[in-house]
Amino acid sequence: MPADDDEEEVLPGNVGGAVRVGATVHRPTGPWTPAVHALLEHIASRVPHVPRVHGFDDEGREVLDFLPGQVVDVNIEALSAARLVALVDWTRRFHDAVADFIHPGPWRFFDVPDATSVGHNDLGYYNICFDGDDLAGVFDWDLAGPTTPLFELAFLAWNGVPLWRDDGPDVAAARLHLIADTYGGPTAREILMAVAPRIQLMLVGIPAHAARGDTGMANLMAAGEPGRSRATLDGLVTRMPLIDRALG
């Protein structure tokens, strides 16, 4: 906790991180920031638990609401079924609210062939906070941009089942069904099949964007990406036939 409202508390992240100043966070910006702010303004009155934009500070950083809540580290603690449902419910509301939102960008996210609508694109446990079983905040909107709802759900499943770890095919299948049933769109099998192409996009995109000068992507590479995700995706691919069978 900051000692007073002007004191900065560093909130570490793998890309650019953030600092908390009182009830706000200040974050680095990029060419994608105008598009992200337009998106956040579009959903401000339509979707709950989203930070409001409060302009820029003297250093040119964006200023957003700090959203209090508990960030769950799934390396330490499982994301409960109730929390997974809350996240998927929120995702459905968000997708419904952006069905008519179009912006020319530039966006930071990797090019998705046949994109149909804008997504958050980084719905990992590290960008979400909870209040008990309820969702309390979704932050880190820098990767938002054109994608498909299926790719959004595939990445949510990768992190939220999770599929990058072997918790056994029955657990994976049950949680994939929970995601599909809660969202009410693609089937559990369709979501599973979309995970490899969605992660592949990132394996190619991170080094490509780092080479183009995106320092946040270079920070991800210094933190072991995309090598770590490539290795965990290889593991998932070997387990997929078992998970597929367990889906019934």
Ligand X SMILES: Nc1ncnc2c1ncn2[C@@H]1O[C@H](COP(=O)(O)OP(=O)(O)O)[C@@H](O)[C@H]1O
Q: x/- contact string, 160-199, with Mg ion (CB under 5 A)?
A: ----------------------------------------
- Bridge partners of 11, per DSSP, are 18
CB of 128 to ligand X, least distance (A): 9
Taking the least distance from each CB to ligand X, the nearer of 71 and 242 is 71
Which of Mg ion, ligand X, none interacts with 119 (beta carbon under 5 to 8 A by kind)? none
CB of 86 to ligand X, least distance (A): 17
53 counts as binding ligand X under rule CB under 6 A = no
Query: Site size for Mg ion, by CB under 5 A?
Result: 3
CA angle 220, 226, 227 (to 5 degrees): 120
Mutual orientation of helices 188-211 and 215-222 as an angle, nearest 10°? 110
Q: x/- contact string, 138-177, with ligand X (CB under 6 A)?
A: -xx-x-----------------------------------
Give the Cα separation of 45 and 156 in Å (integer).
24
Q: Given the rule CB under 6 A, which residues bind ligand X?
A: 11, 13-18, 25, 27, 51, 64-67, 71, 126-127, 137, 139-140, 142
